[in-house]
Chains A and B, each alone.
Chain A
Amino acid sequence: MAEPVTVSDNKHKSQVNSGASYSGNGRSSAAAAERSSGGSGSSSGAGAAGGGLSGGLTQPAGWQSLLSFTILFLAWLAGFSSRLFAVIRFESIIHEFDPWFNYRSTHYLSSNGFYEFLNWFDERAWYPLGRIVGGTVYPGLMVTAGLIHYVLNLLHITVHIRDVCVFLAPVFSGLTSISTFLLTRELWNQGAGLLAACFIAIVPGYISRSVAGSFDNEGIAIFALQFTFYLWVKSVKSGSVFWAIGCCLSYFYMVSAWGGYVFIINLIPLHVFVLLLMQRFSRRVYIAYSTFFIIGLVLSMQVPFVGFQPIRTSEHMAAAGVFVLLQVYAFLQYLKDRLTRQEFQTLFFLGVSLAAGVVFLSVIYLTYTGYIAPWSGRFYSLWDTAYAKIHIPIIASVSEHQPTTWVSFFFDLHILVCTFPAGLWFCIKNINDERVFVALYAISAVYFAGVMVRLMLTLTPVVCMLSAVAFSCVFEHYLGDDMKRQSPPAEDSSDEDDRKNAGNLYDKAGKVRKHVSEQEKAEEGLGPNVKSIVTMLMLMLLMMFAVHCTWVTSNAYSSPSVVLASYNHDGSRNILDDFREAYYWLRQNTEEHARVMSWWDYGYQIAGMANRTTLVDNNTWNNSHIALVGKAMSSNETAAYDIMRSLDVDYVLIIFGGVIGYSGDDINKFLWMVRIAEGEHPRDIRESDYFTPQGEFRVDKAGSPTLLNCLMYKMSYYRFGEMQLDFRTPPGFDRTRNAEIGNKDIKLKHLEEAFTSEHWLVRIYKVKKQENRDRVEHKLRSSNANKQKYTSKKTSKRKRGYIRNKLSLKKGKKLQKKFL
């Protein structure tokens, strides 16, 4: 941990030296301006202990390592256990939607082997199109879980693959905190690293994607992200091919795990580019980036889903451009030795601007001619923030793709969101190569998190790191014991000394010590009282952070959403298990190849839990297919029946929350179905038809007739009008929308109710087969000719005698004179 790292010659000595106190590499530094602190390595609460221990121990470095290991282990343990709320409250179950698909494919992988998995064509999804799963997923997650399962079984620890999947994300959170520790240690010092590890272990912004049961790409991807960054920083610092190759391998793992790898492949070139601009080019950067780019490119193309994208899409072009630029720059640097100063300046200026221009123009040209695909919609919407709203309703419809309010920032990061700018400030004030990286990371991540809620995930690690830097600075200055500092451990030597003469580490120790004690005198002024007040309050804030994290995790992020819970007044809990009830019904009672139509949200769950064929699912790759389902849901029954017959639908599954007041049901999502359908079929579906003339979306009597007769409405409220939930409300009262429904007398002609779960949450309808004989809509035509023949020519008038002005007698009425 405290091994001396010789930093090779640095031509920006002046900058580095001014920040030498911060660039202590695992050792606390005692450089010119700053005072040293022997316990800086253990400032995360363990500093107090460290102070007491270091005096009487011969090998403080050993104690430091032990403390670090203990803290990291505890962070792992805390992170793991705070993610277990859902397992303890409910059971070991896969959560939400996407994890069900991941689980299903992991299951397939573990039972059929890797090659079968790569070639898997899933005929159960996107009926009738099917889906090539092997080529359309990031396989890292499944392979990781499958591998762990395989190894465990090899050791005769027999666990079900489901348990591996459920606990994968919490286990990886521990690895994330370790790699965050390593990265922060490279950037600042060990104390900040330990704080960062503790922060990221419990911060809600990361827990939201990695609770037990949330078996999703992000769970392992954040580990890969942090580890790649650590290796990158390491390779930039050391300039060794070894670390650069390690970085590539880690990058390969990231590419195989999550689409967010694009962030890495843009951030690292940006880092190199900014280093060039700051004239911080060095051979180390050259070696690191050249190795990373080439090997990383080749490795990333090995993932089937990524394929040739790295050389054919705009998202990856920045990396290639910077690579070319770097080569040109390096070449010019080489020429520098061979030319006079004047010649070189002209050549340099011309060369660099020419190279930049050529790269830029060729990218534009290639994009224009179609060799390079332009930005895909999801990425484009990050820059042009109004783009998705207008052009791609399916992206805009996902709640994760909404912009972020300050409340979400505070909710997910609490104190860290207010303090991490301070860390950024310290980093920029004491800049060096790797701190340029973390500053760029912070600024780009905070922008992306502002645009999209889900990208809060990439912001969280850097916030933890920078906050740790800020807190570590404060603790370093306020936590230490005044007495202890008079005898700093011999290991403490400044980086300055290190650089000047890396060999004799101990020669300068005496000088340093003197320097420190000078500093001490000035410092004692702050006094122990002020120091302890500051320390107390800071620790209190951190304690509040821990409490907040636990509360948020427990209340907001630990619900499986497959199983719902409701609480009574006395605090007892009701479990609503309607989803699984219904899916199990489908599994048991329908034919094996039955096709189930539902809105895309439930596709993965139907496939995973009910094992039935679905039409659309959460992999929203085919917008027109989804629009067709949306059109069926929003048309009237007859039109919908035609669509359903053309798609061979056997069952329709909908979610209806009106009985228990569940707000995430299909009627609330209905407008999105209409919008998506309208996007593809503007002639048949019009959003305005589903509103009242006042522009409201209402399900009661005032609602628009198109809405009251569309398939979704009919299926949701079929026989709901007969149901009175309690005595204060009329029958057919929808609790979610607080309205009495407008169409209580719903008759279904082509569908019949097949199953409704206990709380009506899931309703399944069977689509009737077409009748053998078409029933005729209109009355049979009665032929006139026949009739006339039968009644002959005698009309009623002719049959009987007919008297004009005949008296008509009315019974019970007295004839009066005047009538006669």
Chain B
Amino acid sequence: MASVLVKSSSNLPVLLVFSLVLLCLPPGGGQKKKENLLSEKVEQMMEWSSRRSVIRMNGDKFRRFVKAPPRNYSVIVMFTALQPQRQCSVCRQANEEYQVLANSWRYSSAFSNKLFFTVVDYDEGADVFQQLNMNSAPTFMHFPAKGKPKRADTFDLQRIGFASEQLAKWIADRTDVQIRVFRPPNYSGTIALALLVSLVGGLLYLRRNNLEFIYNKTGWAMAALCVVFAMTSGQMWNHIRGPPYAHKNPQNGQVSYIHGSSQAQFVAESHIILLLNAAITMGMVLLNEAATSKGDVGKRRIICLVGLGLVVFFFSFLLSIFRSKYHGYPYSFLIK
């Protein structure tokens, strides 16, 4: 047993190999030694995980505690690259979810020495990555207590995503350990809201003698229009579906801002639509202003023409974008 261990850590001096082999030799010592080793390992792991819920590992530790038998515990390993120079934003998000999961396990009543959460960073254990033929991060793997990891022991990140609930489901599937994910309540939203409310309240209090601005209809009208524009340009769709900002064609590097299908949209596209809608609305308002305001006739005439131009031009532009997305739409106006 020990020899296997030695073999795997090839950089140990030969002398040590001999001494270890010699140590193993006495009859009956093998079994006992194994038990000792096991309890030692479990103790070590427990100690680490009592300090931090996710155990950081380098190459040697990984081989000793995760790969090498004897083990009676399952290990979940996240292979990742968290160093800033790697620029892996997904890794950071995945890491947060992973921490949430590990903490839920660490502080749950069912916490035992059957399951440990560990992490191997590429910059600390590049050899592990090579050994496992791994060329993408993050990757989640489960190392069962007995036997080698199977295909299903690698978490399918592409399809399921890395939400901690999904990870917990996968772990329950692989190890029969049920983890109830407990997310630490996110106070940032509440704090921001409280800050905002106190700010507004403070402002109102400071200007309590001059509350005219609350009755300012323009401000309210602006706010209402903002909501309307955000919704009609599909910001809610962006919020729920999370599309990319724009699409860059990998072949020729061309960036397209408009999605080709009518079923989807890019973030950039929705911003363009927002501006177009706002411009048309502004045109309508200007047309009305030109007719109702009292002032220089020439100026009003210009305002009127500008308003008309805004309405007509941007509407035809909008129509042409719509036409390019909705195939088979026959009508256009001014712009093809």
Binding site for B on A (CB under 8 A): 33-35, 385-386, 389-390, 403-407, 409-411, 415, 417-422, 424-426, 428-429, 431, 439, 442-443, 446-447, 449-451, 470, 473-474, 477-478, 522-523, 525-527, 530, 533-534, 537, 540-541, 544, 547-548, 551, 688, 691, 693, 695
Q: Which residues of A contact B217 (CB under 8 A)?
A: 428-429, 431
* Cβ distance A507 to chain B, nearest Cβ, rounded Å: 27
The answer to whether A477 and B288 touch across the interface, beta carbons within 8 angstroms, is yes
Contact A526 B227 (CB under 8 A): no
Q: How many residues of B contact A (CB 8 A)?
A: 64
In whole Å, how far is A191's beta carbon from the nearest beta carbon of chain B?
14
* Across-interface contacts of A540 in B (CB, < 8 A): 333
A-B residue pairs, 7 tightest by C-beta: A525-B297, A477-B291, A422-B284, A450-B236, A450-B231, A428-B221, A418-B280
> Please, could you name 13 A-B residue pairs with CB atoms under 8 Å apart, sorted by A?
A403-B239, A406-B265, A407-B263, A421-B278, A424-B221, A425-B285, A442-B228, A443-B227, A473-B288, A525-B301, A530-B301, A548-B331, A551-B330
The distance in angstroms between the C-alpha atoms of A688 and B333, with both chains bound, is 49
* Cα-based distance from A422 to B225 in the complex (angstroms): 8
A567 to chain B, nearest CB (A): 12
The answer to whether A450 touches B234 (Cβ under 8 A) is yes
B278: nearest chain-A partner, CB-CB = A421
Cβ-defined contact, B239 with A443, below 8 A = no
Shortest CB-to-CB span from A477 to chain B, Å, is 3
Closest B residue to A523 by beta carbon equals: B291
A34 to chain B, nearest CB (A): 6
Q: Which of B278, B288, B318 has the most CB of A within 10 A?
A: B288
Q: Which residues of A contact B305 (CB under 8 A)?
A: 530
Residue from A386, A439, A688 in contact with B224 in the complex, judged by beta carbons closer than 8 Å: A439
Considering residues A389, A424, A527, which has the most beta carbons from chain B within 10 angstroms of its beta carbon?
A: A424
Q: Take A525-B300, A544-B331 as given contacts and tell me if A406 and B234 are in contact as well, using a CB distance cutoff of 8 Å.
A: yes
B315 on interface, CB distance cutoff 8 Å: yes
Task: Indicate if the CB atoms of B236 and A385 lie closer than 8 Å.
Answer: yes
Collect the chain A residues with CB atoms within 8 Å of residue B311's CB: 537, 541
Instruction: Report the bound CA distance from A717 to B95 in whole Å.
Output: 44
- Contact check, A425 vs B221: say whether CB atoms are below 8 A apart: yes
| Cβ contact within 8 Å between A386 and B322 | no
Interface residues of B in 258-297 (CB under 8 A from A): 262-265, 269-270, 273, 276-278, 280-281, 284-285, 287-288, 290-292, 294, 297
Bound-complex Cα distance A425 to B285 (A): 8
List 14 other contacts, CB 8 Å, given A405-B263, A449-B231, A534-B287: A35-B292, A405-B264, A406-B232, A406-B237, A407-B262, A417-B277, A421-B278, A422-B284, A446-B231, A473-B288, A537-B311, A541-B312, A688-B160, A695-B159
The total number of A-B Cβ pairs within 8 Å is 167
- Asked whether B227 lies within 8 Å of A474 as measured between CB atoms, the reply is no
Cα(A420)–Cα(B277), bound, Å: 10
Q: B230 to chain A: which residues have CB within 8 Å? A: 450
Residues of A within 8 A of B221 (CB): 424-425, 428-429
> How far is B134's CA from A397's CA once the two chains are assembled, in angstroms?
36
Asked if A446 contacts B315 (CB within 8 A), the reply is no
B101 at interface by CB-CB < 8 Å: no
- Which residues of chain A come closer than 8 Å to B228, judged between CB atoms? 420-421, 424, 442-443, 446
Q: Cβ of A417 and Cβ of B227 under 8 Å apart? A: no
Q: In the complex, how many angstroms separate the beta carbon of A678 from the nearest chain B beta carbon?
A: 11
Contacts of A688 in B (CB 8 A): 156, 159-160
Provide the bound-state CA to CA distance between A411 and B262, in Å. Answer: 10
Contact A403 B241 (CB under 8 A): yes
Interface flag for B304 (CB, 8 Å): yes
Residue B122 at the chain A interface, CB threshold 8 Å: no
Cβ of A431: which chain B residues have Cβ within 8 Å of it?
217
Q: How far, in whole Å, are A754 and B240 apart by their CA atoms in the complex?
A: 44
B205 within 8 A of A: no
